[in-house]
Amino acid sequence: MENVASIGSGIEVEEIRKLFPILHQKINGHDLVYFDNAATTQKPVQVLDALQAYYTGYNANIHRGIHTLAERATTAFEQTRATAASFLNAGSKEEIIFVRGVTEAINLVASSYGRSMLKKGDEIILSGLEHHSNIVPWQLIAEEKQCHIRVIPVTDSGELDLLAYKGLLNERTRIVSVNHASNSLGTINPVKEIIKLAHQAGAVTLIDGAQAAAHLPIDVQDLDCDFYCLSGHKMYGPTGVGVLYGKKKILEAMPPYMGGGEMIRQVTFEKTTWNDVPYKFEAGTPNIADVIALKSAFDFISGTGKEAMAQHESMLLRYATEQLSELKGLRVVGISKNKVSVLSFVIEGIHPFDIGQMLDTRGIAVRTGHHCTQPLMDRMGLEGTVRASFAVYNTRKETDKLIEGLQRVIGFLK
Amino acid sequence: MSITDTQEEIVNEFSLLEGDQEMSVLYLMELGQKLPAMKEEDKTEQNEVKGCQSRVWLTAEVKHGAVFFSADSNTAITKGLISLLIRVFSGHTPQEILSGEITFPSRIGMDRFIGTQRSNGFAAMIKQMKMYALAFQTRSQIQA
């Protein structure tokens, strides 16, 4: 792809925008401004082409096929696994399991690891910044196994209280599961330290990387996390596909999550033996097309340069934060110095829904509500926020449109 | 004015905005702001319309055989929508309300607010208004 170096991040945003057909349309008579990237990002042509190429060129079921199309599909499918391993710096590609997304990844770990390893009275530590998908699966298993959930508190600035975390760790702690970055506030959590402390207490760790995958460097070996997961659609890839990384030794000790084809070695009615990892966890025909296209998303990020992308997004975040903070009655929620490009805010006396709907009339897409983090909203004393989240294809000009739109809302409603 | 005529009037008013989405929403919110205030003591859980993403409270009373609604919402757009519903239904007999058909939302380009995500809420508002009408009708029949 074209990526002519320019001042600052080196991101040639106009060139990048050409790769995203969806961005070039009018919404309610205005150019679309897509600021809902933390919910899902748009997809570059490489990803769309990969989907098309698979279905028009080599659609076949993978792994046991002996014909050419099956070989091609299998090769492409397994190439994504190798790319994912390299993207996360996993020790081997056997540590990469394809799932539908982070929600399924966490359910898989909670179900398989949790059910086999947890005992009555054990403790699971989560944080007050978690998405419901990193809360509810643990509640289900905790109830079943009579375990307790402990929660790392959140400070007023939207950061985790690490001192309190240290106080929560004890010999009963079995699992610590937190996000790498908060979807509601953008806070980047000090996961390396959280993991180290968890290990010292003898617990395993899961990092929800949904909001990190497209923005932060990820090295699972350096982090030393036991599990890491991401969703393809939040990192320029297709919906319905994601990755669960797990340390091989731990994965090998875990029982299967679902039964079916692919995950078995031998089946008899008396006894069935399991396939090796990762296949043990990939029952049934997987989401072949989307897995294959996910490689193009990894390549898009690596090719563009994650660091350059992050710099560009930080610039937008800083600019937008400064400009928005000037608006009367507007308060930014989540003011950590370390944030991915998520900007959550409230305007005194105006409901987030009204703000979101008004912005939509100008073609600006933001998200409003509790962002699937109701405990966090309760902690912040809010019903919800307006959230603008930036991706590599967003521009300063678009940010200006957001500000104009907000000025208009405030001017009318206050 | 009949339920049909009031809706025609609303459609005519919005047509002056020539389909400008932003102006239409602003106008809708302005109408909401003009809605007579609901008594604070009426904003109870019992009076809350379930199924709305934003919070909506609705009450009704009968005067000389006509139903009068009072409502509020914590969001300006929803308040605007409900102010239109009140304008259409208030002052009519239970029978008229029960047989009245709401056609204005799509005709003023507001179907997107009541389509998809808000649809249940809007449908719930109409349903609740008709429930009041039905209750008043039943009561008057029993008394007669």
| Distance (Å, whole) CA A140 – CA B57 | 35
- Domain residues for the domain of A337 are 13-43+305-413
Chosen domain end from A282, A303, A324? A303
DSSP A267: E
A404 touches chain B (CB under 8 A): no
Determine the structural domain holding residue B109 and report its residue range.
Answer: 3-143
- For residue A29, being part of any structural domain is answered with yes
Q: Is B52 an annotated catalytic residue?
A: yes
The sign of the dihedral angle between the CA atoms of A100, A106, A111, A116 is positive
**How many angstroms away from the CA of B14 is the closest CA of chain A?**
15
Same domain, A232 and A361: no
Looking at beta carbons, which residues of chain B come within 8 Å of A32?
A: none
Q: Tokens for A367, please give them.
A: 């998200």
Q: What percent of chain A has pLDDT over 90?
A: 90
Q: pLDDT for B51-86, tens place per residue?
A: 666 889 999 999 999 999 999 998 898 899 999 999
Average pLDDT over residues A374-381: 94
Q: Which of B52, B58, B67, B88 is catalytic?
A: B52
Does one domain contain both A251 and A209? yes
Percent of chain B beyond pLDDT 70? Answer: 91
pLDDT confidence band for B27 (50 / 70 / 90): very high
Closest CA to A187 of A177, A195, A178: A178
Q: Identify any residues that bridge with A126 across adjacent strands, giving them in sequence order.
A: A151
In the listed set A253, A281, A303, which residue is the last one of a domain according to the structure?
A: A303
On whether any CB of chain A is under 8 Å from the CB of B18, the answer is no
A371 lies in the same domain as A285: no
Does A7 map to a domain?
no
Total domains in chain A come to: 2
Do A392 and A314 sit in the same domain of this protein? Answer: yes
Q: Which helix (H) or strand (E) holds A103?
A: helix A102-108
pLDDT of residue B20: 86
- Cβ-defined contact of A351 to B76 (cutoff 8 Å): yes
One domain, residues A31 and A164: no
Residue numbers in B near A28 (CB within 8 A): 21-22
pLDDT of residue B53: 66
Strands lying side by side in the sheet with A148-152: A96-99, A242-246, A227-231, A204-208, A173-179, A123-127, A148-152
- With an 8 Å Cβ cutoff, is B113 touching chain A? yes
Determine the average pLDDT of the residues in A20-44. 97
* Integer Rg of chain B from CA: 15
pLDDT for residue A414 is more than 80: no
Q: Which of A250, A284, A303 is the last residue of a domain?
A: A303
Task: Tell me, yes or no, whether A236 and A92 share the same domain.
Answer: yes
- DSSP secondary structure, A235-248, as one string: GTS-TT-EEEEE-H
Q: How many CB atoms lie within 10 A of CB A365?
A: 16
Q: Based on the domain organization, do A333 and A291 belong to the same domain?
A: no
Question: How many independent structural domains does chain B possess?
Answer: 1
| Nearest CB partner across the interface for B25, out of A29, A350, A358 | A358
Amino acid of residue A189: N
Any idea what the CATH number is for the domain that residue A272 is in? 3.40.640.10
Would A206 be classed as within a structural domain? Answer: yes
What residue of B is the nearest CA neighbor of A351?
A: B75
Here the CATH number for the domain that contains residue A334 is 3.90.1150.10
Instruction: Tell me whether B76 touches chain A (CB under 8 Å).
Output: yes
Task: With respect to residue A6, please indicate whether it lies within any of the assigned structural domains.
Answer: no
Q: For residue A4, what pLDDT is reported? A: 38
pLDDT of residue B117: 54
For residue A369, the chain B residues in CB contact (below 8 A) are 53
- A218-255 core/surface letters (b: 16 or more CB in 10 A; e: else): bebeebebbbbbbbbbbbbbbebbbbbbbbeebbeebe
pLDDT exceeds cutoff 50 at A2: no
- Both A291 and A377 in one domain: the answer is no
Q: Which residues of A touch B53 (CB under 8 A)?
A: 353, 369
Q: Which amino acid is at B1?
A: M
Work out the average pLDDT over A72-91. Answer: 98
Q: Are residues A283 and A314 in the same domain?
A: no
Interchain contact, B75 vs A29, CB within 8 Å: no
Is A1 within the bounds of a domain?
no
Q: What mean pLDDT value characterizes chain B?
A: 89
**Is residue A250 a part of any domain in this protein?**
yes
- Average pLDDT over chain A reads 95
CA distance A173 to B74: 43
Token readout for A231 is 């969703």
Query: Is the model's pLDDT at B114 over the cut of 90?
Result: no
Mean pLDDT in residue range A39-54: 98
For position B132, which CATH number holds?
3.90.1010.10
Q: What is the DSSP string of A168-225?
A: H--TTEEEEEEESB-TTT-BBP-HHHHHHHHHHTT-EEEEE-TTTTTTS---HHHHT-
On whether both A64 and A205 belong to a single domain, the answer is yes
Same domain assignment for residues A137 and A197: yes
- Mark whether A379 and A244 lie in a shared domain: no
Calpha distance B129→B137 (Å, rounded): 12
Nearest CA in chain A to B22: A361
Cβ of A32 under 8 Å from any chain B Cβ?
Answer: no
Does residue A28 belong to the interface with chain B, where contact is any CB pair within 8 Å? yes
* DSSP, res A348: T
Half-sphere exposure of A30 (CA within 13 A, CB side): 19
Say which residue the tokens 């649809």 belong to. B119
A34 conformational bin, left if phi > 0, alpha if psi -120 to 50, beta if neither: beta
For B22, the closest of A351, A361, A413 (CB atoms) is A361
- For chain A, the C-alpha Rg in angstroms (whole number) is 22
Encoded tokens for A38? 């933390």
Q: For chain B, where are the alpha helices, taking DSSP H only?
A: 3-15, 21-33, 76-89, 94-99, 104-107, 111-114, 116-143
A171 assigned to some structural domain: yes
Identify residue A371 by its one-letter amino acid code.
Answer: H
